[in-house]
Amino acid sequence: MTRRPWLVGVTGASGTPYAAAILRGLIDAGEDVDVMVSQAARLTLLDETGRGVRDRHWREDLSAWLDRDVSALRYWPATDIAAGPSSGSYRTKGMIIAPATTATVAAVATGVTHNLVQRAADVTLKERRTLVVVLRETPLRLSTLDNLRTLAAEGAVIMPATPAFYAGARDVAALVDFLAGRVLDLCDVDHDLYLRWAGTLGAARSDVEWEARVDQH
Ligand SMILES: Cc1cc2nc3c(=O)[nH]c(=O)nc-3n(C[C@H](O)[C@H](O)[C@H](O)COP(=O)(O)O)c2cc1C
């Protein structure tokens, strides 16, 4: 059977934990995954985790970062414009850019692409495949809003990195998992990353039991 991976492009916005949670979710679901990491993303990864991703040592580096067996993953250097995802004939299920910078959003929106992440996203759009863009920037200038509008008009799903609080997250990792879970929902990938809304106000609150205990004293 033809391998049909999810492409995951990690770009140099703050928010590398989102990338890690999404990649783990895809791996845990048994999905095929191709990873691309922009040059700037190496800096944010270093800044936020103290880890590096080296093209020649990507297996060790990704496995240490993700705490997963990455032997089934495919890794493409972001400078390799001749890589598989550069062509529409390379079969994929679609692409997730997480976190996405305003720079990559601009490049994809205009079609003036300079690296493999941008080219792969350009190809994903032209082939009418799923493209999820997890933008991380605030506030937003008008040109970014215009670029996001262009991408949305072409079928991309714009998924700002804004976790919600209704799922009862008790720590930052749970907020990250919430966002990752919503991204996987868009890709129709099964996961157990957050508690889904089931129609009852307060059902996920962790303080309800606590309040009941306090009332007894
Ligand atoms: C530590 C650090 C954090 C950054 N955070 C953001 C961010 O949250 N959003 C953003 O759009 N750019 C951010 N940038 C700037 C981008 O990395 C920069 O525009 C870069 O050229 C983007 O390249 P890329 O899109 O190919 O990864 C950050 C840069 C650094 C060094």
- Which CATH number fits the domain that encloses residue 29? 3.40.50.1950
pTM: 0.95
Q: How many domains are there within the chain?
A: 1
Specify if 84 maps to a domain: yes
Does the Cβ of 46 fall within 6 Å of ligand 1?
A: no
Per-residue model confidence (pLDDT) at position 217:
44
Q: Is 136 annotated as a binding residue?
A: yes
pLDDT tens-digit map of 138-177:
999 999 999 999 999 999 999 999 999 999 999 999 999 9
What kind and span of H or E run contains 173? Answer: helix 172-186
Specify if 18 maps to a domain: yes
Question: From edge to edge, which strands make up the β-sheet containing 157-158?
Answer: 74-75, 33-37, 6-10, 94-100, 130-135, 157-158
pLDDT category of residue 205 using cuts at 50, 70 and 90:
confident
Which residues constitute the domain of residue 137? 6-215
Specify if 141 maps to a domain: yes
Of 181, 183, 178, the residue nearest 168 (C-alpha): 178
144 CB-side CA count, 13 A? 15
Specify if 39 maps to a domain: yes
Specify if 174 maps to a domain: yes
Does the Cβ of 16 fall within 6 Å of ligand 1?
A: no
Specify if 1 maps to a domain: no
